[in-house]
Structure formats: structure tokens, C-alpha cells
């Protein structure tokens, strides 16, 4: 890359928007040039508009940018979106129509038939739906999403196991508070407590992994043919979503084969060489008590999924395990950035 690609961030003042800014600091390909947020923030310097919730401060080159309103005509060819779903539905489509390429963390278009949910190590070939978008809608840009933050570790852990024929998966999640944004969860609700419910989350977790794990055809994706069941809970953890997964396969599978599938898993070219790709997308821990959110969420710069506790599940007749990934890095902003790198490496930008 000769000169950096200018980038706009939608929803720049929120928790995920801040994570975009943090992760893009010093990025070799991308440079943050435009910050977009709601009318309440527009017109202010970013450092005044945003209450920075990550450690330290907003990076200096970003702190002084003036926040733009949502209806701005943007200059940046690449746009990252951390907008709420309802606003994303309007803004993202409009930006795609006006030539931008949007990598979105919002849920609005995840299940749209012509929009991929990218998890590059798993489904880099889904990126070709951008061609479909350009042909059908006449866009010069495109629109790609990343998954729900909990779907990311579930999908990453299941991806190497597709070869064994996944018939069904049961998931119980223990999700971190940062997944709810800022201010998000009240400390009076979550201190010394578990909230065994996250609105709208379970249906996403039962559907999005099947799309990510599905096969891309001419102009659409065939969902993976398996049944999923999810229970989502919130626990007093800052970052890192942990999931307990039980899987049933079409045929009996040996433990050694599962372990080998995980250990050998790598993304297809050019994914392993993208700037934000972790050295290993899946890390298998052998200790009986890992993965743990606090101790494993930063593995691979927050981009790795850590799995462990593989053992038979007598009820499913298959296997159960625990997986964990950083919800605002691999499960949100970091994944969107990796998606943009994949799109750029494929020449779409």
C-alpha cells in the first residue's frame, strides 16, 4: 500500500466506536479521517464529545477531529459503522449507494441475503457477495458486516469441525458488560449478580453462525444445515464473552480428530498475512480451567479465540467444550477491521 486509505467511523463516540479508534491507531493501511456521531455530539471536538471509556486517552491525532453529523457527505472511501441497528439501517445503505464501502458492526443487514457476515478465517470467500451487490444495486462500494459478538467465538470454534458434520449445537453464553455499550449495564444490576437474559441475543446466536458457516453460492449463502439453541447471560466481567458449547455430529468423532482440527486451523490466503490477523485464530488450552475471560481475552491481540475443556457430552452424544473471545475486539471492531483488510486485499477498495 502506498498511501493510507482514509477511514470514517460512524458512532465514533460509543464504546465500539472508541475501540475502532484505538485499534486503528498506527494501522499500516488505514487512517482515521472522519468521525461521525449523533446530533448531540456533532460539531464538537472528539475529545469533548466522547467520554473515553477505554484505558488511557483517545489518540492525539483523533482527539482534535470535529465530530460530523450522521447525514454528512463523507470523503473517506472506507467506513466503519458502530451505529445502533435502527440508525444503521438508514445510514449504511445510503452510504453504500454513494460509493462507500462499509464494514459494519451493526445488526441491521447481517441477515440480508446479499450482505455477508465476514469472519475471514472462516468464510473469506463470502466477500464475493460484494460483486453481487455491485451488480444488483449498481453500487461502486459495498457493505459487509461482522457477526454478533457472541457468535464470533462460537463460529470460530465450530468452523474447523464442519468436516465432521455438525448436526446440532447448544450454547450457553456468559457475556461481558462491555457488550452492552456505554453507559450500558447499570452497576446496580450486575454487581454481585448474573442477568440471565440479553434482549434479542439468543435468536442472533441461533442464526448468525449458520450463515457464517454456510456455503456461498452464485448470489446468496446457504445456511449451514444444523440446529442451534442458545441461552445468553450477562456476568460481572469487563471484556470477553465465554461460551459453553455442546455439539452433536453426524457420525462419531474421536477426540484426537477434534483436537487436530482445532490445532491445524488457519484462514485461507491472504487472511493469515492481513495486518490484524492473529498468528493463530484458534488457541487450544490444555489446563482444566481455561479459557478464562480476563486471562485469555488479549490472546492474539484480542483477535484469537481460545478453546478448552473438550470432553464428551452424554446428552448430545457428541462433545462439549468452552470457548472465549474478546467481544469488542474479535467480536466487534477488530473483526470489522480485519474484514476491511480482506476487502482491500481482494481489490474492492
Closest CA to 147 of 203, 204, 217: 204
Closest CA to 275 of 230, 209, 340: 340
Task: Determine if 327 is a binding residue for a second copy (CB under 8 A).
Answer: no
Task: Determine if 73 is a binding residue for a second copy (CB under 8 A).
Answer: no
**Shortest distance (Å) from residue 145 CB to a second copy:** 24
Catalytic residue (one of 149, 226, 232, 335)? 149
Task: Determine if 263 is a binding residue for a second copy (CB under 8 A).
Answer: no
CA gap 17, 92 in Å, rounded: 15
DSSP string, 13-71: TSHHHHHHHHHHTT-SSEEEEEEE--TTTTTSBHHHH----SSS---HHHHTSBEEPTT
Task: Give the interface segment with a second copy, choosing from 1-9, 158-166, 262-270, 292-300 (CB under 8 A).
Answer: 292-300
Task: Determine if 98 is a binding residue for a second copy (CB under 8 A).
Answer: no
The answer to whether 295 touches 304, Cβ cutoff 8 Å, is no
Task: Determine if 207 is a binding residue for a second copy (CB under 8 A).
Answer: no
CA gap 305, 289 in Å, rounded: 16
Q: Which of 118, 143, 207, 235 binds a second copy (CB under 8 A)?
A: 235
Task: Determine if 200 is a binding residue for a second copy (CB under 8 A).
Answer: no
Task: Determine if 64 is a binding residue for a second copy (CB under 8 A).
Answer: no
Count the residues of the shown chain that bind a second copy, applying the rule CB under 8 A. 63
Q: Which of 136, 227, 260, 279 binds a second copy (CB under 8 A)?
A: 227
- Subset of 129-188 contacting a second copy (CB under 8 A): 168-170, 172, 174, 177-178, 182-188
Task: Determine if 253 is a binding residue for a second copy (CB under 8 A).
Answer: no
Task: Determine if 1 is a binding residue for a second copy (CB under 8 A).
Answer: no
Task: Give the interface segment with a second copy, choosing from 23-31, 91-99, 148-156, 287-295 (CB under 8 A).
Answer: 287-295
Bridging pattern class, strands 318-325 and 166-175 = unpaired
Q: Which of 38, 44, 292, 346 binds a second copy (CB under 8 A)?
A: 292
The answer to whether 221 touches 121, Cβ cutoff 8 Å, is no
The answer to whether 277 touches 217, Cβ cutoff 8 Å, is no
CB proximity list for 321: less than 8 A, separation 6 or greater? 157, 244, 245, 307, 308, 309, 310, 311
Q: Which of 220, 229, 250, 257 binds a second copy (CB under 8 A)?
A: 229
CA gap 173, 321 in Å, rounded: 12
Task: Give the interface segment with a second copy, choosing from 69-77, 92-100, 119-127, 239-247 (CB under 8 A).
Answer: 239-247
Neighbours of 324 (CB within 10 A): 29
**Shortest distance (Å) from residue 297 CB to a second copy:** 8
Task: Determine if 290 is a binding residue for a second copy (CB under 8 A).
Answer: yes
Closest CA to 148 of 11, 12, 330: 330
**Shortest distance (Å) from residue 236 CB to a second copy:** 5
Bridging pattern class, strands 142-145 and 166-175 = unpaired
335 is catalytic: no
**Shortest distance (Å) from residue 296 CB to a second copy:** 8
CA gap 55, 189 in Å, rounded: 23
Using a 10 angstrom Cβ sphere, with 0-12 exposed, 13-18 middle and 19 or more buried, the burial of residue 10 is buried
Task: Determine if 275 is a binding residue for a second copy (CB under 8 A).
Answer: no
Task: Determine if 233 is a binding residue for a second copy (CB under 8 A).
Answer: yes
Catalytic residue (one of 100, 126, 241, 326)? 241
Q: Which of 144, 296, 332, 338 binds a second copy (CB under 8 A)?
A: 296
Catalytic residues: 149, 241
Q: Which residues bind a second copy (CB under 8 A)?
A: 15, 53-56, 168-170, 172, 174, 177-178, 182-197, 199, 206, 227-229, 231, 233, 235-238, 242, 244, 246, 248, 288-299, 308-309, 313-316, 320, 322
Amino acid at each position: 500500500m502506498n498511501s493510507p486509505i482514509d477511514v470514517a467511523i460512524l458512532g465514533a463516540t460509543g464504546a465500539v466506536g472508541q475501540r475502532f479508534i484505538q485499534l486503528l491507531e498506527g494501522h499500516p493501511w488505514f487512517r482515521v479521517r472522519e468521525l461521525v456521531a449523533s446530533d448531540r455530539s456533532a460539531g464538537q471536538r472528539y475529545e469533548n464529545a466522547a467520554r473515553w471509556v477505554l484505558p488511557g486517552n483517545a489518540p492525539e491525532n483523533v482527539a482534535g477531529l470535529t465530530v460530523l453529523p450522521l447525514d454528512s457527505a463523507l470523503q473517506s472511501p472506507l467506513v466503519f459503522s458502530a451505529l445502533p441497528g435502527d440508525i444503521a439501517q438508514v445510514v449504511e445503505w445510503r452510504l453504500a449507494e454513494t460509493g462507500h464501502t462499509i464494514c459494519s458492526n451493526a445488526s441491521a443487514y447481517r441477515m440480508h441475503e446479499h450482505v455477508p457476515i465476514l469472519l475471514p478465517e472462516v468464510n473469506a470467500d463470502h466477500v464475493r457477495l460484494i460483486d453481487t451487490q455491485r451488480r444488483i444495486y449498481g453500487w461502486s462500494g459495498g457493505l459487509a458486516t461482522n457477526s454478533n459478538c457472541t457468535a464470533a467465538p462460537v463460529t470460530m470454534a465450530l468452523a474447523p469441525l464442519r468436516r465432521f458434520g455438525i448436526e446440532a449445537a447448544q450454547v450457553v453464553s456468559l457475556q461481558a458488560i462491555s457488550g452492552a455499550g456505554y453507559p450500558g449495564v447499570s452497576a446496580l444490576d450486575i454487581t454481585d449478580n448474573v442477568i440471565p437474559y440479553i434482549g434479542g441475543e439468543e435468536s442472533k446466536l441461533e442464526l448468525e453462525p449458520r450463515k457464517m458457516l454456510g456455503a456461498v453460492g452464485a448470489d446468496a449463502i446457504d445456511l449451514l444445515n444444523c440446529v442451534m439453541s442458545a441461552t445468553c447471560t450477562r456476568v460481572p466481567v469487563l471484556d470477553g464473552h465465554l461460551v459453553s458449547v455442546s455439539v452433536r455430529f453426524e457420525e462419531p468423532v474421536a477426540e484426537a480428530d477434534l483436537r487436530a482440527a482445532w490445532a491445524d486451523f488457519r484462514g485461507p490466503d491472504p487472511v493469515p498475512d492481513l495486518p490484524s490477523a492473529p498468528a493463530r485464530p484458534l488457541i487450544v488450552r490444555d489446563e482444566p480451567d481455561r479459557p478464562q475471560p480476563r486471562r485469555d481475552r488479549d490472546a492474539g491481540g484480542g483477535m484469537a479465540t481460545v478453546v478448552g475443556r473438550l470432553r464428551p457430552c452424554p446428552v448430545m452424544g457428541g462433545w462439549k467444550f468452552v470457548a472465549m473471545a474478546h467481544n469488542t475486539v474479535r467480536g466487534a471492531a477488530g473483526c470489522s477491521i480485519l474484514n476491511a483488510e480482506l476487502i482491500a486485499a481482494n481489490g474492492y477498495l
